[in-house]
Amino acid sequence: MTLITDVALRRVLDSRGNATVEADVYTESGGFGRARAPSGASTGEFEAIELPAHEAIASAREEAVPRLVGEVYAGNQRDVDAALHAADGTDDFSGIGANSAVALSMAAAHAAADVTGAPLFQHLGGTFRGNSFPVPLGNVIGGGEHAADATDIQEFLVAPIGAPSVEEAVFANAAVHETVADILADRGVPCGKGDEGAWAPSIDDSEAFEIVAEATDIVEDDAGFEIRFGLDVAGAELYVADAGVYEYSETTRNTDEQIAYLADLVDEYDLIYVEDPLDENDFEAFAALTDRVGDQTLICGDDLFVTNVDRLERGIEDGAANSILIKPNQIGTLSDTVDAIELGVESGYEPVISHRSGETEDTTIAHLAVAMDAPYIKTGAVGGERTAKLNELIRIEQNA
């Protein structure tokens, strides 16, 4: 019933105005699935390779489509993803592009779900999963690679951990986003938005901490449930390997100073989440910080692990973190993504399902987060390509 009978690939726009890959998958009994690849700006050195969209499409048409059409059942995700690996022939998807691979992999899942009539989260999660909802981490102030002349720390992320529902959590994040704008206006700081819809003011990190702490307090009082916040430091972008230091606008920190700085911030602001506090090659420094504050906060590896089971295994051995960021396009297929989630969960690493800075209206990650019972999803606070996922979570919650 879910035998793949046709595949279409095309170039579509992403939220930055760049070309990305969209895939359509059709099955024998009339199933249809569509998905699009996102794209990073602060990409990890060890991610699967994204090719220019037209190249990825040409290569996938030549190599992958013949191995899928008439050959593989969309309902067997492992077979679909094995066919994508075979078509690619490399270990980093540089043959057909991780962007083609992830779009095809996710489109096949949508098509298989369509055949059964079940929503995607149920198809992916099965009967025994998909019963809890992730807390959305909302990006409200940001800089780094996502906005010029803004904060050094890439993302300040609101976490409405006490929200009684996804719906309330989503609106709390939007309220903090708006309150941040009010505080910035009171302080006479003009600003636009970065790639993920977060405010991108020309302020230093310490002022951003003050503002986000104040805004979360205000909204917490209003909402009547606990709201904390966290960070994506994107440490690899700050790290200057030759000098062995983290370079901030006003100062530099060596690795020990960076660890102490982050540990102090966790204490001072009661941070609930710290992503990529250190360089993507420095498992040891990650482990030192996790040792220090891992019982108070999540230390999450994004560029460190790149959704890759081999890198996660090394991290588990080293005690490098207690959380893993999950981005399907970092590894290229849903099967590889689920393997990373499952290894993480078995090892006490909380999986955080994530968007990329370059996004589309694709909602697959909302379903994935629910299907995997992930405790958190990071998908922005406002902006159409972000609200696509947030609003889908609200729908899933209502219909589950």
Site residues (vs Zn ion, CB under 5 A): 232, 275, 302
- Strand ranges across the sheet with 19-27: 4-13, 19-27, 32-36
How far apart are alpha carbons 351 and 25 in whole angstroms?
28
Contact between 255 and ligand PGA per CB under 6 A: no
Please report how close the Cβ of residue 371 comes to ligand PGA at its closest, in angstroms: 21
> Out of 193, 327, 378, 389, which one is annotated catalytic?
327
- 196 flagged as catalytic: yes
Nearest distance, CB of residue 44 and Zn ion, angstroms:
8
Strands 155-159 and 32-36 turn out to be unpaired
Strand order in the sheet with 252-254: 239-240, 245-247, 252-254
Looking at residues 220 to 239 of the shown chain, list those that interact with ligand PGA (rule: CB under 6 A): 232, 234
Greatest Cα-to-Cα distance within the chain, rounded to the nearest angstrom = 62
Between 40 and 277, whose beta carbon lies closer to ligand PGA?
40
Closest CA to 246 of 273, 269, 212, 280: 280
Q: Which does 179 bind (CB under 5 to 8 A by kind): Zn ion, ligand PGA, none?
A: none
Binding residue (CB under 6 A) for ligand PGA from 99, 357, 363, 364: 357
Q: How far is CA 135 from the centre of its chain?
A: 13
Which of ligand PGA, Zn ion, none does 385 bind, CB closer than 5 to 8 A by kind? none
| Contacting range for ligand PGA; rule: CB under 6 A; set: 48-56, 81-89, 220-228, 349-357 | 349-357
For residue 24, the minimal CB distance to ligand PGA (Å) is 24
99 binds ligand PGA (CB under 6 A): no
Residue 302 makes contact with ligand PGA by CB under 6 A: yes
173-181, 209-217, 285-293, 354-362 -> range binding ligand PGA (CB under 6 A): 354-362
Q: How many CB atoms lie within 10 A of CB 145?
A: 17
| Dist. CA 359–CA 306, nearest whole Å | 18
* DSSP-derived secondary structure letter, 252: E
Nearer CB in complex with ligand PGA: 205/232:
232
- Interface region with ligand PGA, contact rule CB under 6 A, candidates 41-49, 58-66, 124-132, 283-291: 41-49
Q: 145 or 168: whose CB is closer to ligand PGA?
A: 145
Query: Please, what is the minimum distance in Å from the beta carbon of residue 323 to Zn ion?
Result: 12
Report phi then psi at 389, rounded to 5. Answer: -75, -45
Q: What is the DSSP string of 300-314?
A: EESTTTTT-HHHHHH
Residue 110 lies near ligand PGA (rule: CB under 6 A): no
**For the chain, where are the alpha helices, taking DSSP H only?**
53-63, 65-68, 77-88, 98-116, 120-125, 166-186, 205-223, 235-238, 255-269, 283-293, 309-318, 328-331, 334-346, 364-371, 384-399
Residue 104, φ and ψ in degrees, nearest 5: -65, -45
- Residues binding ligand PGA: number (CB under 6 A): 11
Given 110, 123, 228, 356, the residue binding ligand PGA (CB under 6 A): 356
146 neighbors 42 (Cβ within 8 angstroms): yes
Catalytic pick among 47, 50, 155, 196: 196
Residue 42 or 258: the one with the smaller Cβ distance to ligand PGA is: 42
Residue 264 in tokens? 């102090």
**Which C-beta is closer to Zn ion: that of 275 or that of 392?**
275
Among 31, 33, 40, 143, binds ligand PGA (CB under 6 A): 40
- Residue 336 or 385 having the CB closest to ligand PGA: 385
> By the criterion CB under 6 A, which residues form the site for ligand PGA?
40-43, 145, 232, 234, 302, 354, 356-357
Residues marked as catalytic: 196, 327
